[in-house]
A and B are shown apart, each in its own frame.
Chain A
């Protein structure tokens, strides 16, 4: 009833762990899979190890979190062991990668494929690091080339995670249309100031806003892209309960990612939402959650 197929990937339920949350240590990813997530997406991995920014890098605000972690990651050569540990849970692991050129993305993706991931997710959307993320993901020509380059060389599906911090999400979505799925959306660029210290709280000044505060923004892009394009969409942004999940599914998402809500509700959120979704489907005599994908499109 809860099984979905997205980008050709079979998932036991529509819920995955979003990239950037509890996903650098293999044992943590394994535990999240054992807590009911159908898949996990790793922290975004680049070519070299990066420490990221000086803390504070994460700051809770009303309705969510601001973060500017700064793409801290152990580098592609050091992530294989963690993925191996996560894979021992017997569920799909998706490798998130970030680069600045088509060749760099390809190199990272090939390593991820060798490590045994079920798909790669391209981080075209981190809002707070120069030369990566949104800076790459706001250039439609570059996005098209990155995706094309990967699609010709990989056996596993390619997800493109897009940013809302661009002039036209639809334009970038079209540029990434060779992807097997689009992941909508990454965080919304923002900041916070401490009025006593009289300075920005995040050491990077700007960060990305996630959590319930951005749910309506995410929904809008899922809905808009689904209306214009025939492509699988994975919805992410502020999902905290089964009603949020249903909104994203009815807007056009085949699968969902959850991240920030883990800080508020813990790892049991995957089990809770999938149980609630199953109850909803039974109560309403709906055979499969897939029947609801895009149901709200008018």
Chain B
């Protein structure tokens, strides 16, 4: 296991906390690590900061992530990685669409040419608002407590997407599934970061597979062309036992 000391702990929203730590390894936006919480489990986490001072943004979800949130500066974190294929870099205007904790893997892509659509259940859960050096930040909430009330695909229906060189999307699979037809129709270049349960990170356990592709090694970033040809995307996944369930 690799280990590092937490140097900073930042409360982002009521349910999310960012931890910063130093790790020399070169990591590209979209790649992830497997964090070991000794005694409580192991979870995949995207890097929300990819410079020398790395960062992860942890949402309280299950037992390991709750335990991880209890760590303080000076405590050690243990992990393996980096894993996975990163986002493709692009020049010119880019549109980032992040829903919930999906914003974490998009944060390293934010620059002054970026329009960022941040979506969450409510105003309190919107991530990184006021912290991003972007051209424009748009907020979308399920309950309308900030910005547009609704879901990203509903907002995007009225946007001119042709001005963007590339779109980057990360969030719940159902959200991305609803977005896909609209982006295909618009004919844009887009990449999606998918999330499924993972046990190994090295392409052997079959937990994160989608249509025979392992997201941990052949993803998690998937192009719009590839995504549109997948049968299981937005429909089927396997649970922890390997039983086929609806997404």
Chain A interface residues (CB < 8 Å from chain B): 21-25, 27-28, 30-32, 43, 49-52, 54-58, 60, 65, 69, 72-75, 78-79, 81-82, 194, 196-197, 199, 201, 203, 259-260, 262-263, 266
Contacts of A56 in B (CB 8 A): 34, 36, 41-42
- Say which residue of A25, A51, A78 sits within 8 Å of B206 (CB atoms): A25
Shortest CB distance A51–B (Å): 4
Chain B interface residues (CB < 8 Å from chain A): 1, 3, 34, 36, 38-43, 76, 78, 80, 199-200, 202-207, 209-214, 217, 231-232, 238-244
- Say which residue of B76, B80, B212, B217 sits within 8 Å of A28 (CB atoms): B212
CB-based contact B202/A60 at 8 Å: yes
Tally the A-B contacts, defined by beta carbons under 8 Å: 117
CB-based contact B3/A51 at 8 Å: no
Question: Could you tell me the distance between the alpha carbons of A193 and B35 in the complex, rounded to whole angstroms?
Answer: 16
Question: Could you tell me the distance between the alpha carbons of A4 and B76 in the complex, rounded to whole angstroms?
Answer: 53
Known A58-B202, A60-B202, A74-B242; contact A27-B209, beta-carbon cutoff 8 A:
yes
Question: Counting chain A CB atoms within 10 Å of each CB, which of B3, B39, B41, B199 scores highest?
Answer: B199
Contacts of A55 in B (CB 8 A): 34, 41-43, 199
Contacts of B207 in A (CB 8 A): 24
Shortest CB distance A254–B (Å): 25
Quick one: closest A residue to B208, CB to CB? A25
Extra pairs beyond A69-B205, A196-B78 (18, CB < 8 Å): A21-B206, A22-B204, A22-B209, A25-B238, A27-B209, A28-B206, A51-B241, A52-B240, A55-B43, A57-B205, A58-B204, A72-B241, A75-B243, A194-B38, A197-B3, A199-B38, A203-B41, A263-B204
18 contacts between A and B (CB under 8 A): A25-B209, A27-B232, A49-B241, A52-B241, A57-B200, A58-B202, A60-B202, A69-B199, A72-B241, A72-B242, A73-B242, A74-B238, A82-B244, A197-B3, A199-B38, A263-B202, A263-B203, A266-B217
Question: Could you tell me the distance between the alpha carbons of A31 and B214 in the complex, rounded to whole angstroms?
Answer: 11
Known A22-B206, A28-B206, A197-B1; contact A73-B241, beta-carbon cutoff 8 A:
yes
- Say which residue of A43, A81, A199, A259 sits within 8 Å of B244 (CB atoms): A81
Contacts of A50 in B (CB 8 A): 241
Question: Could you tell me the distance between the alpha carbons of A203 and B41 in the complex, rounded to whole angstroms?
Answer: 8
Contacts of A263 in B (CB 8 A): 200, 202-204
Question: Could you tell me the distance between the alpha carbons of A65 and B244 in the complex, rounded to whole angstroms?
Answer: 27
CB-based contact A197/B231 at 8 Å: no
CB-based contact B78/A30 at 8 Å: no
Shortest CB distance B6–A (Å): 14
Question: Could you tell me the distance between the alpha carbons of A43 and B205 in the complex, rounded to whole angstroms?
Answer: 10
Question: Could you tell me the distance between the alpha carbons of A55 and B46 in the complex, rounded to whole angstroms?
Answer: 18
Shortest CB distance B58–A (Å): 16
Quick one: closest A residue to B202, CB to CB? A263
Contacts of B205 in A (CB 8 A): 21-22, 57-58, 69
Quick one: closest A residue to B213, CB to CB? A31
Shortest CB distance A165–B (Å): 21
Quick one: closest B residue to A200, CB to CB? B38
Question: Could you tell me the distance between the alpha carbons of A79 and B39 in the complex, rounded to whole angstroms?
Answer: 31
- Say which residue of A196, A203, A260, A262 sits within 8 Å of B76 (CB atoms): A196
Quick one: closest A residue to B211, CB to CB? A27
Question: Could you tell me the distance between the alpha carbons of A139 and B161 in the complex, rounded to whole angstroms?
Answer: 67
Contacts of A23 in B (CB 8 A): 206
Contacts of A49 in B (CB 8 A): 241-243
Known A27-B232, A56-B42; contact A266-B206, beta-carbon cutoff 8 A:
no
Question: Could you tell me the distance between the alpha carbons of A27 and B213 in the complex, rounded to whole angstroms?
Answer: 8
Known A58-B205, A201-B36, A203-B41; contact A25-B212, beta-carbon cutoff 8 A:
yes
Known A54-B41, A81-B244; contact A266-B202, beta-carbon cutoff 8 A:
no
Shortest CB distance B76–A (Å): 7
Shortest Cβ-Cβ A-B pairs, 3 listed: A31-B212, A55-B42, A74-B243
Question: Could you tell me the distance between the alpha carbons of A46 and B71 in the complex, rounded to whole angstroms?
Answer: 38
Contacts of A266 in B (CB 8 A): 203, 217
Shortest CB distance B247–A (Å): 14
Contacts of A57 in B (CB 8 A): 199-200, 205
Contacts of B217 in A (CB 8 A): 266
Shortest CB distance A120–B (Å): 18
Question: Could you tell me the distance between the alpha carbons of A21 and B199 in the complex, rounded to whole angstroms?
Answer: 12
Quick one: closest A residue to B63, CB to CB? A54
Shortest CB distance A55–B (Å): 4
CB-based contact B214/A22 at 8 Å: yes
Question: Could you tell me the distance between the alpha carbons of A259 and B203 in the complex, rounded to whole angstroms?
Answer: 11
Quick one: closest A residue to B198, CB to CB? A55
Contacts of A79 in B (CB 8 A): 242
